[in-house]
Structure 1
Amino acid sequence: MSHLIRNKSKLLARIRRLKGQVEAIERALEAEVPCGEILNLTASVRGAISGLTAELIEDHIREHISNPDKDENPARAQGAAELIEVVRMYLK
């Protein structure tokens, strides 16, 4: 959890932006904005959630499994780097 505490302000800023995006969807629905605009807003939220999720998973891998930049075991370092890359691509 130390990595979450270390990045707390950055993570909270992302969450606050997400909160603002979700509130924008709520306002758009209340204002009866055309569905295309609401779909664009929801796509933005989905992208932001995916980005946050990817960041949290990457930090978890680096902190609790293997940090490819510091691991002295080359096979484990390579495996962690590959896993991080797959997570980034999957959640893109």
Structure 2
Amino acid sequence: MSHTIANKEKLLLRVKKIKGQLSSLEKALEDEKECFKILQQISAARGAIHSLMSEVLDGHIKEHLGNHVSEDDREKEILNLASLLKTYLR
């Protein structure tokens, strides 16, 4: 079973919290809140997304790069992961 399926409810709860943070950010912008408050909202949302990425990435590495994976599959997964990380870190 895929790690995202096994942790589906937990991951969906995190996504819902991120949606709430983004809605709060949108409201702060609409209400013309002070820039420091807006920066705090952006920072919180970014941190939450980063944390979600870290959790899914950890499960992905364990599932797709573990000792149980064939050498050919591992090489493909490493290339895929390197490509993903390049786009994520831009």
TM-score between both structures, scaled by the size of structure 1: 0.70
Q: Distance in 1 between matches of 2:18 and 2:11?
A: 11
Report sequence identity in percent.
47
Look up the match of 2:23: 23
3-state secondary structure, aligned to 2:56: helix
Corresponding residue pairs, total: 69
Q: CA RMSD in A?
A: 1.9
Task: Specify the alignment match of 2:49 in structure 1.
Answer: 49
Displacement after TM superposition at 1:12 (Å): 0.2
Query: What's the TM-score, normalizing by structure 2?
Result: 0.71
1:49 CA drift (Å): 0.7
CA distance in 2, matches of 1:62, 1:9: 19
Q: What amino acid sits opposite 1:39 in the alignment?
A: L
Consecutive unaligned residues of structure 2, counting only runs of 5 or more, are: 69-90
* 2:51 counterpart letter in structure 1: G
Q: Aligned AA for 2:45?
A: V
Query: Per the alignment, in what secondary structure is the counterpart of residue 32 of structure 1?
Result: coil
The 5-angstrom pairing of residues 1-92 of structure 1 reads 2-66=2-66
Aligned residue for 2:29, secondary structure, equals helix
- Distance between the aligned counterparts of 1:28 and 1:45, measured in 2? 13
Structure 1 alignment gaps of length 5 or more: 71-92
Deviations 1:40-74 (A, max 9, x none): 0000011111111111110001111117xx9xxxx
Q: Distance in 1 between the 2:28 and 2:57 partners? A: 32
